[in-house]
């Protein structure tokens, strides 16, 4: 499986710790979250389904984890393109509020 298809499954149970750490210090679940964000999705339903099936967590929990990852320097070091893109989107949304 390629990285943009999720690579690692990142499953650690519905609310588990996400498995062991890799060389970047990120858990398998963290890597799976970043991999899902690298993909393009036809619509929100497909992404939410993938979150439930691949990670075994709710979309709400997924976005909580994702927001924490965006502030984690290890995530930035691992995937700077994805993290910087998502940070820009997050900042734009905050400015509109």
In the predicted model, is pLDDT for residue 70 greater than 90?
Answer: yes
At 21 the pLDDT is: 55
Helices H / strands E in the chain, number of each: 5, 0
Query: Cβ(28)–Cβ(8) under 8 Å?
Result: yes
Query: How much of the chain, in percent, has pLDDT values that exceed 70?
Result: 76
Which two three-digit tokens encode residue 76? Answer: 């930035």
At 6 the pLDDT is: 39
At 92 the pLDDT is: 94
Query: Cβ(34)–Cβ(78) under 8 Å?
Result: yes
Over the stretch 30-69, which tens digit does the pLDDT of each residue have? 999 999 999 999 987 999 999 999 999 999 999 999 999 9
């Amino acid at each position: 499986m390629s990285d943009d298809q999720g690579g690692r499954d990142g499953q650690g149970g519905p609310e588990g710790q996400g498995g062991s750490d890799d060389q970047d210090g990120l858990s398998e679940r963290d890597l799976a979250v970043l991999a899902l964000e690298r993909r393009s999705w036809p619509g929100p339903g497909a992404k939410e389904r993938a979150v439930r099936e691949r990670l075994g967590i709710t979309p709400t929990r997924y976005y909580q984890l994702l927001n924490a990852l965006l502030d984690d320097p290890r995530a930035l070091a691992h995937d700077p393109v994805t993290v910087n893109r998502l940070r820009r989107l997050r900042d734009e949304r905050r400015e509109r509020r």
